[in-house]
Amino acid sequence: MLMMQDDFRIIAVVIKKKGAMSQLRQDKERFYDGCCERLVRNILLTDSSMKEWTIIFDYRCKNKMLSNLFVARILAVIGSECNRLRKAAPSVHISFFDSQKSRGLQMIDFVVGAIQRKYEYNDLTFYGIISERIVSEEKHFFD
């Protein structure tokens, strides 16, 4: 099966893990949640006119109890950011899939890998394939 979709944009938050290791060691879940919150804010700043959102996460990243808290936190961020921007909040559907069984999540893994190779190895081979789709690329490099 061939997956084709022309209507997509890439909004990325790039974090240099090596510099963020102390934060990661302290609380991995909180660090991950913070990255997701930052990404949600960037999506709203880039295009706050979207009326419906479907957000899909790899379920292997969260256990059941934490995923319920995580969903509530993401919805709260969307609501507060929409209030701050004075925009109507989109209708949001959040789900968790196994990335090994989801072609869409595998494609996202490709995008993440291409961005990672750009920053870690200065290899633009795959980044060149996706670069025209990137509308926001926020970078955080900790010292």
Please choose, from the candidates 105, 53, 60, the residue with its C-alpha nearest in 3D space to the C-alpha of residue 74: 53
With 0.75 as the threshold, say if the pTM is over it: yes
Report the C-alpha gap between 121 and 131 in whole angstroms.
Answer: 16
Please choose, from the candidates 36, 55, 53, 48, the residue with its C-alpha nearest in 3D space to the C-alpha of residue 83: 48
Is it the case that residue 143 has pLDDT exceeding 50?
A: no
Q: Tell me: the pLDDT tens digits for 105-117? A: 888 999 999 999 9
Segments making up each domain of the chain, as ranges: 10-140
Report the C-alpha gap between 101 and 75 in whole angstroms.
Answer: 26
